[in-house]
Chains A and B, each alone.
Chain A
Amino acid sequence: SAVISQKPSRDICQRGTSLTIQCQVDSQVTMMFWYRQQPGQSLTLIATANQGSEATYESGFVIDKFPISRPNLTFSTLTVSNMSPEDSSIYLCSVEAGVNTEAFFGQGTRLTVV
């Protein structure tokens, strides 16, 4: 199993500013995933973060808007840049210990942009 500490748990931000979300895992993992979940919706994958290489972004998400760092095998950050109210959502980090192993999630960050 993996325990993930994600922070902040929530924040209210002004439009045009940026917020960095951190996830710390209690064990080394190959891949970390960043998701967005808008109210009443399912999980949408933003990007896959690999240690030592650039993150892989899904269609509709770009590095300039959601820069990701993965400095080592236990830590990653996601930045939501130049925020607008449309970015208000829950952001979740996740790790999967291996193929066909359950995904573990951080507690989530509830972001409100005003």
Chain B
Amino acid sequence: GQNIDQPTEMTATEGAIVQINCTYQTSGFNGLFWYQQHAGEAPTFLSYNVLDGLEEKGRFSSFLSRSKGYSYLLLKELQMKDSASYLCAVTRDSNYQLIWGAGTKLIIKP
């Protein structure tokens, strides 16, 4: 079977750093996506990891450990506009379909 776990909700302070974790169990794992979704809007792409290690993109970084079935999204210098849900999703070999986590609602406080 397949299973993706993320915390339901997290709270952080403006200007700080927050790490959102995602663990997965899936056969034929190929890669992992992170998406950002503001309330009432469609998800938007943030990052994609296939190989182990850290991918940095501005204030956002994403890490993957294939052996541990683990990823995290790191957000630095938090801004109020970063308040959103963050979804991780995995892809499997030879399959166009994404398997989605339940999402983590991130609340930023001044």
A positions within 8 Å CB-CB of B: 30-31, 33, 40-43, 45, 48, 90, 92, 96, 98-100, 102-108, 110
Contacts and interface: CB of A to CB of B under 8 A. Distances in A.
B40 A110 contact: yes
B24 to A, nearest CB: 14
Contact of A45 (B33, B50, B93, B97): B97
7 contacts: A33-B97, A43-B100, A45-B100, A48-B96, A98-B96, A99-B93, A102-B33
Which range holds the interface residue count of chain B? 20 to 34
Contacts of B84: none
Contacts of B100: 42-43, 45
Contact of A105 (B40, B42, B50): B42
A68 to B, nearest CB: 15
A105 B43 contact: yes
Contacts of A102: 33, 45, 48
A108 B42 contact: yes
A103 B98 contact: yes
A31 B45 contact: no
Contacts of B41: 107-108
A42 B103 contact: yes
Interface in B51-110: 87, 89, 91, 93-98, 100-103, 105
Contacts of A105: 42-44
Nearest to B33: A102
Given A31-B96, A41-B102, A42-B100, A103 B45 contact: yes
A5 to B, nearest CB: 12
B30 interface: yes
Q: 5 closest Cβ contacts across the A-B interface?
A: A105-B42, A42-B102, A102-B45, A42-B103, A43-B100
Nearest to B9: A40
B87 A43 contact: yes
Contact of B98 (A41, A96, A106): A96
A42 B101 contact: yes
A43 to B, nearest CB: 5
